[in-house]
Amino acid sequence: MASCAARFLWFVFLFVSLPGYAQVRERINLNEDWRFYKYPTAQEADGLIYDVRPAISGYDDSINADAKPTDAVEVAATERVLKPWILPTGNAFINDKSNQHQRPSGEPGADFDFVQTNFDDRHWESLNLPHDWAIEGPFYTGNNPEVGGGMGRLPSHGVAWYRKQFKLADDDAGKRIYLDIDGAMSYSMVWLNGHLVGGWPYGYSSYRLDLTPYLNVDSVNQLAIRLDNPNNSSRWYPGGGIYRNVWLVKTSPVHVEQWGTQVVTENISAKSADVKLTLKVKNTQVRGQAVRLVNEIYQASNDGKPTGALVSKFATRHAMIAGNNSEAMTNIVTVSNPKLWGPVPTQTPHRYVIVSQVYQGDKLLDEYHTVFGIRKIEFDPNQGVLVNGEHIALQGVNQHHDLGALGAAFNERAAQRQLEILQEMGVNAIRMAHNPPAPELLVLTDKMGILVLNESFDSWYKKKTPHDFHLIFADWHEQDLRALVRRDRNHPSVIIWYIGNEVGEQYTGEEGAEVALRLKRIVKQEDPTRPVTASKNWAKADFPFSAALDLISLNYQGEGIRQLPEFEGTNRIRTPPSYPAFHKAHPDKVILSSETASAFSSRGIYLFPVTSQMSAPTRDGRGGDSSILQVSSYELHAVDFGSSADKVFKYLDTHPYVAGQFVWNGFDYLGEPTPYYSSRSSYSGIIDLAGFKKDRFYLYQSQWRQELPMVHILPHWNWPERVGKVTPIHIFTSGDEVELFVNGQSMGRKKMAELTYRIRFDDIRYEPGEVKAVAYKNGRKWAEQTISTTGKPAALRLTADRGNIAADGTDLSFVTLEVIDSAGRVVPTATHQIEFTVDGAGQLVATDNGDSTNFTPFPSATRKAFSGKALAIVKSADSAGEIIITAKAKGLAPTTIVISAE
């Protein structure tokens, strides 16, 4: 069993699979043993600010999601700001050296207590990273909360400090020592031993700082990191804190630069593929250095390490790297009989790894690993996306970065669980909405064979919220964009770069198109192999904004926006179904729907009457109920600018040249709780915040996995108050015909009508008992499901998603609690208060139930069941053993489940 220390000393780039290679590069995880302090209020915070921000007055965070962005507010600094010391951090990502920033003289903050090595921080909170300071709550409730529903009603705003000490090894003298921060929310500024090293404002960007000039080689080093996360800075929950991994990287003075490789695969066939490697080597010494470069290709194991025999070897290269400079060198080699990377289930995501070695004479200076895939992506305006010659219809969803009850703090297992559930539904593509993801998430999509739309910004110069990215766009867009592309361009799962989402520049004609072109040029300089686009919810087919982009990426316009008569005469966006107009205006460009549906539902809640429409807006008495803040799960209602899943499928099926769709959204997320902004989380997920499937899951599965025999009945059948009343039954199935039985009596056998995606039995009158649906396909029995009126709640049941987890202090088990009757059937109306306890080699991290209106803090060990279910998230300890989870509820017998941490 690995010790805790060994677990966190991960030498990621160290090639140990082959004999004879020395340790030359270390990448050490710095997540453990930080001290944390957050100021109680903004007024009490220190004055070490990045820049001044505009004052806010009269802002309503429940503004419609498709509201027109507005101009920035100009603010002049009247006090000392630290921006001039932070801007040079991004110089490596500014191509024009005349635009790079010079660090001013002086040491701002050097005399501040929190940056001093001898400051006593023992009274500060002790914690490990990744950390989201807001997720524990408590929630803001009531009217006029300090943080509104848009940002999840959680205390993500504020100023806080993180401190950590570390010592270098005796042989680190003469090395370059870097600090890599994968994500810190936001306006991070880093001091080392009292010196302001640098920082990065955008909370979603990964960045590096060179600590070398400020290090103590033979004594303790003190890191101090200040974050300043503004309120009203996001349209969703951003989280707060150092919420991704932090690394200490040690290299030789001559080494492969940060994200210093680019792999392009060309001329791909079953017999061979050309692999082109561009390798950038950095020399931090004053004098030039002669180097020899050796690059070899191996197959990659599941953890990305080289495995097996040598696949191919590039020709050895020799170069002279000038002092304090970098040089890029390109080499090409052919791989015979390549194993291609492709999306599941029809293809296999094979991966390779290039081992790059930098020698000086016979001395190995550096070794760097680049994992990549060999695949051919084509974009055909009449077919869509082809991967390795196979047409792949994009069956995608949008995903925000939070992990539900865990908040923004990244956890690999939690992210993997989300992807597994989405793949079960039939998802083969993800759009990262609306920001760079955690690096590890793209490793998962690579391994799992999921296509990715990688997105940078939600706003440019024009603002959507008073303190969003528009405040720093002018100063930082080039650095943020180049950093994203360099970091992620070798991931085979990434197929399209997105430079913006529904930005205000859609509205500004040629001026906005020029901004789009400028951003596109930046991306193309870093990666000319992938198309670049931005999503449009307003720009039309003949707009210069549309012409500026490589692909046509539409949000909701394909099906039409607000076309019902009740929206006539309003000043909101109203757009007719637009696929034909865009296809006609841009016959050479692929069209895809980057956001579709934005349909609403609350898991297990069914409201009556049921609309006869295929798609309808959400109103009281029409799919919604503002008194309980819930939306009907008949899955027929959407946001005003959106559509039901059924309507989206109809428009895609009648416009086969569209490459596919990305549903808004896969999982419910914290914040943006349209249509009820007094709630905590969204209603638009196909899967709720706890990870429980809504009925809509099965509608998408019926269309996206048509080879899977399945049938799904809704609603549940516990309606004592509806005896004798019309209670429609709807069926989702991958079959083409269904016979419905109520208490053994056939209600008829119906075929799926053309361009419909459910079978409706709208005249069924409720009587308790049993409902059975038998699905047929091509005249043969395909699948069946039976649901029943349950008895009274009699017991609790616990089910773990995995019974064995790693004893590494980070692995998770997601444990589902169900309230069941004496026959073991889930009681769909149960709302018991559940108490969880965890003993042994683990701890309870969070609980949830998927209810958007539930304001119990996530770390609470008690949670009401919602529609018969609740969730407990359990984390392993650092040592092996059994984890015992117990659930209790008043009037019901307790139940226990045991998980093994190994």
Which positions are annotated as active-site residues? 502, 595
For residues 786 and 715, is the Cβ–Cβ distance under 8 A?
no
Q: Is the dihedral of CA 123, 126, 130, 134 positive or negative?
A: negative
How many other CB atoms are there within 10 angstroms of residue 608's CB atom?
A: 15
Q: Helix (H, G, I), strand (E, B), or coil: what is residue 211?
A: coil
Chain centroid to Cα 660, Å, comes to: 20
Are 832 and 890 in contact, with CB atoms under 8 Å apart?
yes
| Interatomic CA distance for residues 577 and 528, integer angstroms | 32
Q: Are strands 616-617 and 637-638 parallel, antiparallel or unpaired?
A: parallel
Phi, psi of 136 (to 5 degrees): -75, -15
CA distances from 112 to 162, 228, 457 (A): 14, 16, 34
> How far is it, in rounded angstroms, from Cα 132 to Cα 192?
23
Task: Give dist(CA 801, CA 811) in Å, integer.
Answer: 12
Distance CA 241, CA 412 (A): 18
The number of angstroms, rounded, from the C-alpha of 358 to the middle of its chain's C-alpha atoms is 35
> Within 13 Å and on the Cβ side, how many CA atoms surround 782?
22
Q: How many helices (H) and strands (E) does the chain have?
A: 10, 50
User: Rounded distance, CA 518 to CA 667, Å?
Assistant: 33
Tokens standing for residue 493: 């799962």
> Amino acid identity, residue 561?
I
Partner residues linked to 896 by β-bridges:
886
How far does CA 875 lie from the centroid of its chain?
Answer: 21
Angstrom distances, CA of residue 450 to CA of 6, 342, 480, 487? 32, 8, 24, 18
- Of the candidates 668, 715, 674, which has an alpha carbon nearest to the alpha carbon of residue 690? 668
- The single-letter DSSP state of residue 193 is T
Place of tokens 């027929």: 636
Q: How far is residue 188's CA from residue 198's CA, in Å, rounded to a whole number?
A: 8
644 contacts: CB under 8 Å, gap ≥ 6:
597, 599, 614, 615, 616, 635, 636, 637, 638
Instruction: Name residue 636's amino acid.
Output: L
Q: What angle do CA 844, 848, 851 make, to 5 degrees?
A: 175
E strands, 518-640, where?
532-536, 552-555, 591-597, 616-617, 619-620, 623-625, 630-631, 637-638
Sign of CA dihedral 563, 564, 565, 567: negative
Three-class DSSP category at 760? strand
- In sequence order, what are the residues at sequence separation of 6 or more whose Cβ sits closer than 8 angstroms to the Cβ of residue 745? none
Q: Is the dihedral of CA 398, 400, 401, 407 positive or negative?
A: negative
Pairing type for strands 306-313 and 289-300 reads antiparallel
Beta bridge partners of 448: none
Burial label for 230, CB within 10 Å (0-12, 13-18, 19+), is buried
The three-state DSSP-derived secondary structure of 142-165 is CCCCCCCHHHCCCCCCEEEEEEEE
Side-chain half-sphere of 601: how many Cα atoms within 13 Å?
Answer: 36
Cβ contact 69:462 at 8 Å: yes
